[in-house]
Amino acid sequence: MTLGLGLLAAATPASAVEPPDGAAYVALGDSEAAGTGNLPYLDADCLRSARAYPELLGASLGGVASSACAGASTADVLTGQFGDLGPATRLVTLTVGVNDADWQGVLLACATGGDLACAAAVQAAAADLASLPLDIAQLLGAIRQQAPAAQILVTGYPHLFGDVTGTCTVGAFQGTRVTFSAAEAAAINQAITGVNALIAGGVSLYATSTGDPGVAYVDVAAAFDGHGLCDTGDRWISGLVSGVATFDRSFHLNAAGQQAYAGILAGALAG
């Protein structure tokens, strides 16, 4: 499959033809990049946290301009998160893709519908994500046009569960325990593996089509082994969390998980 430069250029938002100078480090993406659930928030509308991995990574890089927003899809990043990009931008981090499908619907189906409903939801999400590699490639082309000198690091997602062999309890909702079977946990992990493969495929599609050496996919799943829900190690991901102010933390990276992301990306930069 080939992707011409003209197609990549067509993805550039018309409103961003003449970018400003740009911030040195710009973070783009969804709730993982926003640090959703980890109070305090810097932006309550986007659930963007002061403890998000871009803020942690940026502390050693002179700061960060983050437009990451909970619930963002690739289209949302393309049309609404480019304001801080420009010729002076030297680093861009991007975490996006899972919300191009109804990911929350997948989790709900797996938590409440049983093994068959879970499998069907995962299959439907996979169909919704069929165009994700092309969407990622087009998004990278648009970012490159706005930030011609930047190194662009694109992350995947961690698996929510480890090697669960029995029932995994992740918390309670309205007083009722929420559990996942081994089959449901495996299906969700497999779905995340699929999303990561599609994102990596999009990065590869862009790089091979353009010859751009400044874009790389950064795997995070391996580092999270042993730190998922119902794993034996310290959790880096939150289960269901009660409370109006803290419910958004559910199924998102906790503070340790955000620190892990920052460390993985720091290692990629050092490499």
On whether the CB atoms of residues 193 and 130 are closer than 8 A, the answer is no
User: Which residues of the chain have a pLDDT value below 70?
Assistant: 1-20, 244-245
| pLDDT at residue 10, as a whole number | 45
Catalytic entry in 49, 159, 250, 252: 252
Helix (H) or strand (E) holding 179: strand 176-180
106 class by beta-carbon count within 10 Å (0-12 exposed, 13-18 middle, 19+ buried): buried
| pLDDT at residue 145, as a whole number | 97
Chain segment 159-181, per-residue pLDDT in tens: 999 888 889 999 888 778 889 99
Query: Which residues fall within 8 angstroms of residue 42, CB to CB, at 6 or more apart?
Result: 48, 49, 50, 55, 66
* Residue 135: C-alpha distances to residues 2, 72, 78, 267 (Å): 13, 14, 10, 27
| pLDDT at residue 244, as a whole number | 67
| pLDDT at residue 7, as a whole number | 43
Confirm whether 209 is a catalytic residue: no
Whose CA is closest to 128, among 34, 76, 188, 191?
A: 191
| Largest Cα span, the chain | 55
Residue 64: both structure tokens together = 């960060």
| pLDDT at residue 25, as a whole number | 98
Residues in the chain: 271
| pLDDT at residue 110, as a whole number | 87
Query: Which residues fall within 8 angstroms of residue 193, CB to CB, at 6 or more apart?
Result: 159, 221
Chain segment 12-68, per-residue pLDDT in tens: 454 444 546 999 999 999 999 999 999 999 999 999 999 999 999 999 999 999 999
| pLDDT at residue 240, as a whole number | 82
Instruction: Say how far apart CA 222 and CA 244 lie, in whole Å.
Output: 32
- Going by the DSSP 8-state scheme, the letter that residue 129 receives in this structure is T
| pLDDT at residue 258, as a whole number | 98
Confirm whether 31 is a catalytic residue: yes
